Amino acid sequence: MSDHAVRTVQLRRDFGAVRALDGLSLDVSKGTILTLLGPNGAGKTTLLRILMGLIEPTGGQVFVLGSPARSQPAGGAGRVAYVGDRCEPPDWATPALLEGVQAGASRTFDRTLFREFCKRRGLSLKRPYGALSKGQRRWVLTSLALACRPELVLLDEPADGLDPAARKALYDALRDHVNECEATAIVTTHVIADIERIADDVAIMMAGRAVLHGPLDDLRENIRQVEMSGGISSPELGDMATLLGSTRQGDMAIAWVKCNGVSDGQLVRRLGPGATVRTVGLETLYLAIAEHQPAALAESGKGLE
Amino acid sequence: MMIARWGLTRILWRQAMPATLVGSLGLWAYCLAWPDVMMARDPWPGLIVLLHCLLLAVLLGRFETPSFAFLYSRGYSRDALWGHVMLASALSVLAALVPAWLIVWTGLRSHLHDLLKSPYFPIMAPREAWVPLIWLGLYVLLVPACHYAWIRRAQPTRGSQGGNLAVVGVLAALLLGFDLVRRLDGWLAWLCGLLYAAVVVCLLLGGRSLHRSLEVRS
Amino acid sequence: MYLHLDHHSGEPIYRQIVEAIKYQVASGQLAQEDRLPSIRTLAEELKINPRTVVKAYEELQHAGLVVMRHGQGVFVSVNHGATPQSVRQKAIADMARRMLSEAFRIGASKAEVLRIIESEANKMEPEQ
């Protein structure tokens, strides 16, 4: 457990009749960047808010940096930093004031680093928050977070509204921080290209659960799209691969599978002539799960590791 | 003990500004304009104080706004945040009360009304000197009470109803019975003073405890 | 050291590093006993996780191309046996395999494929 920056066990959170998190079990190793992918309402923001101590779970357990998360931020004093959705300072506040507010909370806050971040995007410390563009605001909030040198960084759509150069600068800064301090980051984003660039691990969340979770390189190595006329079923694949989703186009069956270390050649031989095996990008994989997830996978509630 | 952080205090102070203005302008206007002799049982200052306290609780307790989510996600402990909310409230109260008290204590009020040919001044001036102290006593009781009530309202599932009723009961008794209490002597007066202090402390501690588990949702 | 990474290609990053270094070693850009960048440095340059670099270096060591010397760094090994020709031949074999499986899938015969390759190669030759 001490290897994990974050650990949730059957985490549940209800908002009245709405179940935002439904038995989420997720382990996040130290020194990695985990990206959360999923539709709106999948529970990503709720998870981050629980980790930050803004709200409490309804059931299950959650551990942040080794200790149980409660209403107090983990360990207090800036070990966990958060850039959230609808979580912004008042319009009249200047970056200079925000720097003071953050420094008061975090013993490890580095003022020089924060000012350097601001200078990089040409942001004055005296200009009120409300006068900044959306992208500049995100940059200020992320700079505040990273300048604390936190052990855990929680970023909810941090690059929203940023142009490609600013996105790159933000993610590069995040990667530098994670590498230098062996920190951990959990990032929520809808932009597949960003995930492909930044993620060490990917977790796809649907309806309050993690449906798929693993290193991105593993997914690249093992996830395949299989096409053949007729049908593809789990028993056919046996223990060679797990069926993630399938669909038909005319008489052609298309399925997405996670191979258990077998090569493409072995898979083709098992499926028979006429089968084509391709590698797929993350977007295709996500769409496959979102649109064509087999019922069995959804019901079992157990994500794929 | 908590170290007061200037940046956080400044943001909270500004969030509370409308309350400060209501309390300040209300009390100062009353001090300057009230033509009769000020007495402890006059309702106007009491209402102004109550309004000031209610506004403080509401303005510093808007837990569903983005700016509160921001403040609560910086890494301050819940207790530190609560302490700063109390600090900002105290500063707001002082901003309203100190000038009002000075208006009375420096003789400005007396002099002004003397000029306006009031029959009461400057003769009655010494009688009024302690009235702002009553207001202070009201503030000290009502600020924690309003904060407590407001936080309690945001968390209906926590705490027991019985405890709340007891608090409300004692509060009401204290406020209504104030006139009576004033005339008490000796150990009864001390007892009432003790009760007052106990209620204030309970409200502060209770508020702090509820605040720890408050949900910040925006 | 310059390494080109394509995050969007679907090829695992560690494998891209391995292939790139294999190529540089085989083509002579990296000589025997040359020191490769440290794990931290390479991770910082490429903006990737150091563990990915470790995985790549370990695979290269397993393939006999590099040697990790404790406390000193990672060095290109002597007698690694990779030559420009062998690397090139392997790359061509990979390309051929992919093309052939696609061609057979659409019903081509071996003779047909070879005939077409010959003809295309002849068309291109004048440019060489």
Q: Residue B217 falls within a domain, yes or no?
A: no
Query: What is A4-207's CATH topology?
Result: Rossmann fold (3.40.50)
d(CA B142, CA B96): 15
Mean pLDDT throughout A101-127?
93
User: Does an H or E element contain A266, and which?
Assistant: helix A264-271
- Rounded Cα distance between B162 and A287, Å, is 54
Confidence grade of residue A154 (pLDDT, cut at 50, 70, 90): very high
Residue A230 contacts residue A208 (beta carbons within 8 Å): no
Instruction: Give the domain ranges of chain A.
Output: 4-207, 217-300
CB atoms within 10 A of CB B117: 7
CA dihedral B165, B168, B173, B175 (to 10 degrees): 180
**How would residue C77 be classed by pLDDT, with cut points 50, 70 and 90?**
confident
Closest to B11 in 3D by CA, of A96, A187, A179: A96
pLDDT > 50? residue B132: yes
Q: Does residue B49 carry a pLDDT above 90?
A: yes
Q: What pLDDT was estimated at residue A296? A: 45
* Closest chain B residue to the Cα of A98, Cα to Cα: B7
Q: Do chains B and A touch, with touching meaning 3 or more CB–CB pairs less than 8 Å apart? A: yes
Nearest residue, CB atoms, C47 vs list A175, A196, A281: A175
More confident residue, A211 or A129: A129
Neighboring chains of B (3 or more beta-carbon pairs < 8 A): A
In the structure, what pLDDT confidence band is assigned to residue A300 with cuts at 50, 70 and 90?
very low
Q: A41 or C128: whose pLDDT is higher? A: A41
CATH number for the domain whose boundaries are A217-300: 3.30.70
State the smallest CA–CA distance between residue C128 and chain A in angstroms: 33
Residue of A nearest to C5 (CA): A197
Span A209-234, mean pLDDT?
A: 85
Compute how many other C-beta atoms are within 10 angstroms of the C-beta atom of residue C113. Answer: 15
Please tell me the predicted confidence (pLDDT) of residue B80.
92
Q: Is A77 left (phi over 0), alpha (psi -120 to 50) or beta?
A: left
Q: State the distance between the two ends of chain B, measured CA to CA, in whole angstroms.
A: 30
How many domains is chain B partitioned into structurally? Answer: 1
A neighbours by CB contacts (3+ pairs under 8 Å):
B, C
Q: How do residues B21-34 score in pLDDT, each as one tens digit?
A: 999 999 999 998 88
Query: Looking at the domain assignment, is residue B45 inside a domain?
Result: yes
Contact predicate A266/A174, CB 8 Å: no
Is the pLDDT assigned to residue B178 strictly greater than 80? no
Residues A67 and A116 sit within 8 Å (Cβ to Cβ): no
- Give chain B positions within 8 Å (CB) of A98: 7
- Using CB atoms, pick whichever of B6, B67, B216 lies closest to residue A88: B67
Does residue B218 form part of some domain?
no
Q: How far is C89 from chain A (nearest CA, A)?
A: 20
Tokens 């920056």 — which residue?
Answer: A5
Which of C11, C12, C50 comes nearest A179 by C-beta? C50
State the residue range of the domain holding B39.
Answer: 6-212
Calculate ∠ Cα A21-A216-A26, nearest 5°.
Answer: 25
Residue A274's pLDDT is what? 76
Tell me the C-alpha distance between B49 and B43, whole Å.
10
Residue A185 has pLDDT above 80, yes or no: yes
Over chain B, what is the mean pLDDT?
85
Looking at per-residue confidence, does B171 or A241 come out higher? Answer: A241
Chain B residues in contact with A89 by the CB 8 A cut-off are: 11, 67, 70-71
Token reading at B161: 């109803």
pLDDT tens across A40-77, in order?
A: 888 999 999 999 888 889 999 999 988 887 655 544 56
Model confidence at B160, in pLDDT bands (50, 70, 90)? low
What mean pLDDT, rounded, does chain A reach? 86
Is residue C106 over pLDDT 90? Answer: no
pLDDT band at residue C126 under the 50/70/90 scheme:
low
pLDDT at A81 over 70: yes
**Which chains are adjacent to chain C, needing at least 3 Cβ pairs under 8 Å?**
A
| pLDDT band for position A305 (cuts 50, 70, 90) | very low
pTM, to two decimals:
0.86
Judge whether A64 and A152 are in contact, CB under 8 Å. yes
Pairing label, strands A67-68, A59-64: antiparallel
Query: C56: nearest CA in chain A?
Result: A217
**How much of chain C, in percent, has pLDDT values that exceed 70?**
92
Q: How far apart are CA A58 and CA A12, in angstroms?
A: 5
Among the partner residues C14, C47, C50, nearest to A217 by beta-carbon distance: C14
Within a domain: B1: no
- pLDDT above 70: residue B75: yes
The distance of A281 to chain C (nearest Cα, Å) reads 5
A183: contact with C, CB 8 A cutoff: no
Res B184 pLDDT > 80: no
Most confident of A55-69, A127-141, A236-250, A289-303: A127-141
Q: Percent of chain B beyond pLDDT 90?
A: 45
Q: Tell whether B9 is within 8 A of chain A (Cβ).
A: no
Average pLDDT (C105-115) is 86
Quote the Cα angle for A136-A147-A70, to 5°.
105
In this model, does residue B181 exceed pLDDT 80?
no
Q: Give the rounded percent of residues in chain A with a pLDDT score beyond 90.
A: 51
Residue B28 touches chain A, beta carbons under 8 Å:
no
Q: How many CB pairs under 8 A join A and C?
A: 48
Considering CB atoms only, which of A179, A196, A268 is closest to C8? Answer: A196
Question: Which H/E stretch holds residue B131?
Answer: helix B131-154
Residue C60 Cα, gap to closest chain A Cα (Å): 17
Considering only A43-57, A257-271, B143-157, C103-117, which range has the smallest mean pLDDT? A257-271
* Interface residue B10 vs chain A (CB under 8 A): yes
* pLDDT range class, residue B90, cuts 50, 70, 90: very high
A-chain CB neighbours of B214 within 8 Å are: 71
Measured CA to CA, the distance from residue B132 to residue B138 in angstroms comes to: 10
- Asked if pLDDT for residue A303 goes beyond 50, the answer is no
Residue ranges of domains in chain C, CATH in brackets: 13-76 (1.10.10.10), 84-127 (no CATH)
Could you give the CA distance from residue A277 to residue A116 in angstroms, rounded to a whole number? 49
